[in-house]
Structure 1
Amino acid sequence: MTQQEFNQLLKRYLEGKTTEQEDRLLAEWYETPANQVELSLSEAQKVGIEKRMWRSLQTRIRPAGGRRTIQLAWLSGIAACLVLGFAWLYSQSDTEPEPRVATLVREQTGIEVKNTNPSEQEVTLPDGTTVLLAQNSSLVYEKTFNQARREVYLTGEAFFNVKRNVAKPFVVHTGELDTEVLGTSFRIRQNEKGKTTEVSVRTGKVSVYARGKNQQRERNGVIITPNQRAVYDASTHTITPGIVEKPVAVQSGEKKTALVFREASFEKVLAELTRLYGIEFVISNPTVKDCRITADLNGLSMFTQLELVCKSVDATYEKRGTVVFINGDGCP
Structure 2
Amino acid sequence: MMDRRRYIELLKKYLDGTIDRKEHIELFELTAAENVEAPLAQMIEHDFIANQAGGPDLPPDVSAEILERIVASEASTNRLLINPESRYRLLKAITVAAVSITLIMASIFFFTDQFSVKKSTAFEASIPGGNLKKVNHTAAPLEVVLEDGSTVILSPEATLSFPEHFDGDKREVYLTGEAFFDIAKKQDQPFQVYYNNVVTKVLGTSFSIKTNQRTKEVEVSVRTGKVQVSENKYRSSGNIADAGLKSIILVPNQKATYNETRRVFETALADAIYPILDAEDMAQYMKHGKQLDAFLFQQPTSLKEIFARLEAVYGIGIIADNDNIYNCVFTGDVSKQEMLEKLHIICLTIGATYEVNGTKILVKGKGCK
Cα distance in 1, alignment partners of residues 244 and 166 from structure 2 = 27
The superposition leaves residues 216-259 of structure 1 with CA deviations (integer Å, 9 ceiling, x where unpaired) of: 68632211111111111111111111101221122134235421
Structure 1 stretches lacking a partner, 5+ long: 1-94
1:209-248 correspondence runs (5 A): 209-211=230-232, 219-248=245-274
Structure with more helix by fraction = 2
**Are positions 1:155 and 2:191 aligned together?**
no
Given residue 131 of structure 2, which amino acid in structure 1 is its aligned partner? Answer: G
Structure 2 stretches lacking a partner, 5+ long: 1-117, 235-239, 284-292
Cα distance in 2, alignment partners of residues 103 and 277 from structure 1 = 38
Structure 1 counterpart of 2:137: 116
Structure 1 counterpart of 2:295: 259
Give how far 1:114 is off: 0.2
1:281-320 correspondence runs (5 A): 281-320=318-357
Given residue 260 of structure 1, which amino acid in structure 2 is its aligned partner? Answer: L
| Identity fraction in percent | 33
Given residue 259 of structure 1, which amino acid in structure 2 is its aligned partner? Answer: F
Q: Which deviates the most, 187-196 or 295-304? A: 187-196
From 232, 245, 249, give the equivalent of 2:275.
249
Give how far 1:191 is off: 2.4
Give how far 1:283 is off: 1.2
Given residue 251 of structure 1, which amino acid in structure 2 is its aligned partner? Answer: L
CA 1:313–1:146: 2 relative to 1, 3 Å = farther
From 122, 137, 147, give the equivalent of 1:99.
122
The superposition leaves residues 78-130 of structure 1 with CA deviations (integer Å, 9 ceiling, x where unpaired) of: xxxxxxxxxxxxxxxxx66943534547x4x2211000111111111111111
1:268 match: secondary structure: helix
Given residue 137 of structure 1, which amino acid in structure 2 is its aligned partner? Answer: A
Q: TM-score, normalised by structure 1?
A: 0.66
CA 1:152–1:215: 2 relative to 1, 3 Å = closer
Cα distance in 1, alignment partners of residues 302 and 180 from structure 2 = 38
Cα distance in 2, alignment partners of residues 104 and 216 from structure 1 = 17
CA 1:215–1:289: 2 relative to 1, 3 Å = farther
Cα distance in 2, alignment partners of residues 146 and 127 from structure 1 = 11
Asked if 2 retains the 8 angstrom alpha-carbon contact of 1:127 and 1:146, the reply is no
Given residue 99 of structure 1, which amino acid in structure 2 is its aligned partner? Answer: A
Root mean square deviation, CA, Å: 2.5
CA 1:295–1:175: 2 relative to 1, 3 Å = same
1:267 match: secondary structure: helix
Structure 2 counterpart of 1:17: none
1:1-332 correspondence runs (5 A): 98-102=121-125, 104=127, 107=129, 109-143=130-164, 145-192=166-213, 195-211=216-232, 219-254=245-280, 255-256=282-283, 257-261=293-297, 262-331=299-368
Asked if 2 retains the 8 angstrom alpha-carbon contact of 1:315 and 1:326, the reply is yes
Cα distance in 1, alignment partners of residues 127 and 271 from structure 2 = 35
Give how far 1:316 is off: 1.4
**May I ask how many residue pairs the two structures share in their alignment?**
237
Structure 2 counterpart of 1:54: none
1:164 match: secondary structure: coil
The superposition leaves residues 24-63 of structure 1 with CA deviations (integer Å, 9 ceiling, x where unpaired) of: xxxxxxxxxxxxxxxxxxxxxxxxxxxxxxxxxxxxxxxx
Cα distance in 1, alignment partners of residues 119 and 221 from structure 2 = 28
